[in-house]
Amino acid sequence: DTAVSQTPKYLVTQMGNDKSIKCEQNLGHDTMYWYKQDSKKFLKIMFSYNNKELIINETVPNRFSPKSPDKAHLNLHINSLELGDSAVYFCASSRSGGYGYTFGSGTRLTVV
Amino acid sequence: KNEVEQSPQNLTAQEGEFITINCSYSVGISALHWLQQHPGGGIVSLFMLSSGKKKHGRLIATINIQEKHSSLHITASHPRDSAVYICAVNPVLGGGADGLTFGKGTHLIIQP
């Protein structure tokens, strides 16, 4: 069983579209995250969320919004996609304090 | 200047060599992580350290909190160790919920 699964693995879409990436974890972790890996392979936090609090990196455009229907899911919705949004997006989860960090396999988003 | 600095950026070595990758950070942390990413692949957590030393197989990670420095060592390196190794920290004020801050990674190639 995959611990942190995200779908789709690849996403190609046109500028201006709205898209979502789904993430689910079956580890019982209480905190989930979205990270962006740019073309230079540098990783940066976008959001962290536990069932009490959403923490947003202030550099993330408000076109990006996390949605958590329950503790095991944290989906990423992106409005009005731009060329610069092309990147690999990783979902991750952990227990409180950052223990047991587990990453999903990534979603490669290409905006054309 | 990035809050987490790694060296070297690139490292090519022969099979069997002892490998050291260094990480320095400039913020207070609650923990430090070493991650591994294979080309085109996902991210795997190797170690989480808050003090001292940890060993797993041929991998050893150490941290010196006073000096804000960590090292990842690989003994008897093998071509399958070829990957990008990423140092990441939990900033102390975040309590783990703010996500990780990453170094730019060390691209390691082990030649047969």
- Tens of pLDDT, residues A99-112: 889 999 999 999 99
Query: First-to-last CA distance in chain A?
Result: 34
> Angle CA(A67)–CA(B98)–CA(A96) in degrees, nearest 5?
90
Cα separation, B48 vs A86, whole angstroms: 30
Q: Mean of the pLDDT values across residues A43-47?
A: 92
CB contact B104 to A (< 8 Å): yes
- Cross-chain residue pair A97–B31, CB shorter than 8 Å: yes
Cα separation, B41 vs B39, whole angstroms: 5
CB contact A93 to B (< 8 Å): no
Residue A19 structure tokens: 């898209």
- Cross-chain residue pair B33–A50, CB shorter than 8 Å: no
pLDDT at A100: 87
User: Are B109 and B82 spatial neighbours (Cβ–Cβ below 8 Å)?
Assistant: yes
| Percent of residues, chain A, with pLDDT higher than 90 | 72
- Say whether pLDDT at B6 is over 60: yes
- Say whether pLDDT at A17 is over 90: yes
Q: Mean of the pLDDT values across residues B20-37?
A: 95
- CA–CA distances in Å: residue B89 to residues A70, B40, B92: 27, 23, 9
User: Which of B42, B45, B88 comes nearest A104 by C-beta?
Assistant: B42
pLDDT at B97: 57
Burial of A53 (0-12, 13-18, 19+ CB in 10 A): exposed
The distance of B60 to chain A (nearest Cα, Å) reads 18
| Percent of residues, chain B, with pLDDT higher than 70 | 95
The string of DSSP letters for B11-59 reads: EEEETT--EEEEEEE-S-EEEEEEEEE-TT--EEEEEEESSEEEEETTE
